[in-house]
Structure 1
Amino acid sequence: MLRRQSNPARTLRVRKAVTAAAVALGALIAAVAQSPASAAGPYQRGPDPTAASVAAVTGPFAIASVSVARGNGFGGGVIYYPTDTSQGTFGGIAISPGLNGTWPGIAWLGPRLASQGFVVFGIETNNLNDSPASRGTQLLAALDYLTRNSAVRTRVDAGRLGVIGHSMGGGGALDAALRRPVLQAAIGNAPHLPSGSLAGDRVPTLVYAMQNDTLVTPARLSSLYNTIPATTERAYIEVTGAGHNYIGQPSTVLARTMIPWLKIFIDDDARYSRFLCPLSNQAGISQYRSSCPLISTTATASNAG
């Protein structure tokens, strides 16, 4: 019987083909195994986050600002925005100060949040003693101005908006969420909401309580938090040793928890979930509750579709 002689060149080609097929199969398996949460979403902005980056005083985006005169339903203010135009539009956020407060009193929030990839509008209120309901109306008017008439309107995605406020401004943010359920995120910092109920809230809502606050006590805010429907994404953070006006000074505790909240729900960016689910850094926080896993309804709808 004749034996077929081996062909070294052919053998090498076969081995290379097998190896290439194995590499391709491995890549396919990895792609299939990739979960929707780890897949890049269309609104992700900036590099992969780290514990250091969410706590940083300045984020990855260079920013600029523009002042807005009184009118359009609110008392004017300052808009902070990323100068980068290569990544598409950014989510927008309107922020209200509290009773007798003005924007400069909490203005550190503007550049801190904008440099993380948001267009941030810190507003002045029509009057220093405006009620939470009035501040809610003004926050919504500010978002409408931001997306329709402002000098940076082309930089803002009108479908990805949120509200933040302190004290009566915090109540205003929650009031705005109740009245405009299409908002993507709401944050109330020591919020005063006269009704004491968020039973109609459909907007992902983060409530901050200050442990030593005697004006809007943690007990009161815990009760308010408990009224948020189970179907609404929510979180409650109590800041250790803080008083009512804690937000008046730059705070890493607030920044490293606010930024993930805004990224998850305004940017549908699941990369930030690990900072809140579970809470990755409990320093300075005496109590934390949430509806983890925190999942953007927009992202869920996109994945389902």
Structure 2
Amino acid sequence: MSSPTPRAAKTVLAAVLTAAALTAPQAVQSAQAADNPYERGPAPTQQSIEAARGPFATAQTSVPASAVSGFGGGTIYYPTSTAEGTFGAVAVAPGFTADQSSMAWYGPRLASQGFVIFTINTLSRYDQPDSRARQLGAALDYLTRSSGVRSRIDATRLGVMGHSMGGGGSLEASEDRPQLQAAIPLTPWDTQKNFSDVRVPTMIIGAQSDAVAPVSSHAEPFYESIPASSEKAYLELAGAGHTAPNSSNTTIAKYSISWLKRYIDNDTRYDQFLCPAPRASTISEYRDTCPNS
């Protein structure tokens, strides 16, 4: 058999290189998926984590208090498609005298990024943080064991959030349930000041001008009491007051999304938004342990 001409050889080589170039990105994507089976959604950008809605279409369902025990019912927001697999889930508690409506904006915004979000009512509007902690746990148990969306949830990837006394409740829930993957207390209030037993990755969001739970006596000492060996961050909203978490807030959303993605989904694509410390006019202070740098 005769040898190929130089032109034919170049043609074959070009075809081989082109095929390799086309398949290489697919191979990299497959390897990344194999490394982390919990990644959900496309690679993030500043625009995607600031957007009012993420890549997942969502639906919601109401849960009446009469249908549950241990907490006051609420609303579940969830991605409508499970084509990429199951999702992590987060229970969200309101503050003193408030109900789930004060936290409703978190539902569709976070669910559309690839989470099941449960904004809950408490048994009483006056429940203290320790009670709210137990109710967050009861809500997670209901989500994963009894709810109509339980088949959409990976029960090993759970988190808690809460505002004010609900934020104190999320810290106490992290003490009670060290198997949680993430916690985000929002302008938290609690008479307990030492959370040295917390090992759950925790981002505390304080407000610079908070007169109800001043950061100097609440958010900051809470953060400092969590061991430096734990994954933790402290974000302070510039000029904001205690009720800042009750209204749609891009800064809260983008860093909550990044924290939940990083620790519930183990998605290292979100490291870039958490460390080094973000700089923005809406943030008066940011501290963290930068465990992934």
- TM norm structure 2: 0.90
Deviates more, 1:221-230 or 1:275-284: 275-284
Q: Which residue of 2 aligns with 1:3?
A: none
- Which of 150, 160, 182 is the aligned partner of 1:153? 150
Q: Which residue of 1 aligns with 2:62?
A: 67
- Which of 99, 103, 117 is the aligned partner of 1:106? 103
Deviation of 1:214 after TM superposition, in Å, equals 1.4
- Which of 187, 193, 196 is the aligned partner of 2:193? 196
Percent identity (aligned) = 47
Deviation of 1:252 after TM superposition, in Å, equals 0.3
The alpha-carbon distance between structure 1 residues 33 and 95, as it changes in their structure 2 partners (threshold 3 A), is closer
C-alpha distance in 2 between matches for 1:176 and 1:106: 18
Structure 2 residue 38 is the aligned partner of structure 1 residue 47: no
The alpha-carbon distance between structure 1 residues 30 and 67, as it changes in their structure 2 partners (threshold 3 A), is closer
- Which of 209, 226, 229 is the aligned partner of 2:227? 229
C-alpha distance in 2 between matches for 1:168 and 1:184: 21
Deviation of 1:223 after TM superposition, in Å, equals 1.8
Which deviations, in whole Å up to 9, do the C-alpha atoms of 1:60-93 show, x marking residues without a partner? 1110011111132100000000001211100000
Structure 2 residue 79 is the aligned partner of structure 1 residue 82: yes
Gaps spanning 5+ residues in structure 1: where? 1-6, 296-305
Q: How does 1:87-236 map to 2 (within 5 A)?
A: 87-220=84-217, 221-236=219-234
Root-mean-square deviation (Å): 2.6
Q: Does the 8 Å CA contact 2:93/2:162 hold for their aligned counterparts? A: yes
SS at match of 2:75: strand
One-letter amino acid matched to 1:105: S
Q: Does the 8 Å CA contact 2:107/2:117 hold for their aligned counterparts? A: yes
SS at match of 2:4: helix
One-letter amino acid matched to 1:142: A
C-alpha distance in 1 between matches for 2:240 and 2:49: 21
The alpha-carbon distance between structure 1 residues 237 and 132, as it changes in their structure 2 partners (threshold 3 A), is same
Q: Which residue of 2 aligns with 1:251?
A: 249
Q: Does the 8 Å CA contact 1:38/1:270 hold for their aligned counterparts? A: no
Q: Which residue of 2 aligns with 1:300?
A: none
Q: Does the 8 Å CA contact 1:174/1:193 hold for their aligned counterparts? A: no
Q: Does the 8 Å CA contact 1:175/1:193 hold for their aligned counterparts? A: no
C-alpha distance in 2 between matches for 1:54 and 1:39: 24
The alpha-carbon distance between structure 1 residues 211 and 147, as it changes in their structure 2 partners (threshold 3 A), is same
How many correspondences in the alignment? 288
One-letter amino acid matched to 1:158: A
C-alpha distance in 2 between matches for 1:173 and 1:44: 25
C-alpha distance in 1 between matches for 2:35 and 2:211: 43
Deviation of 1:193 after TM superposition, in Å, equals 2.4
Q: Does the 8 Å CA contact 2:92/2:103 hold for their aligned counterparts? A: no
Q: Does the 8 Å CA contact 1:206/1:236 hold for their aligned counterparts? A: yes
C-alpha distance in 1 between matches for 2:106 and 2:178: 24
The alpha-carbon distance between structure 1 residues 38 and 234, as it changes in their structure 2 partners (threshold 3 A), is farther
Q: Which residue of 2 aligns with 1:264?
A: 262
Q: Which residue of 1 aligns with 2:275?
A: 277
Q: Does the 8 Å CA contact 1:60/1:116 hold for their aligned counterparts? A: yes
Deviation of 1:51 after TM superposition, in Å, equals 0.4
Deviates more, 1:145-154 or 1:193-202: 193-202
- Which of 51, 56, 63 is the aligned partner of 1:56? 51
- TM norm structure 1: 0.86
Bigger Rg over Cα:
1
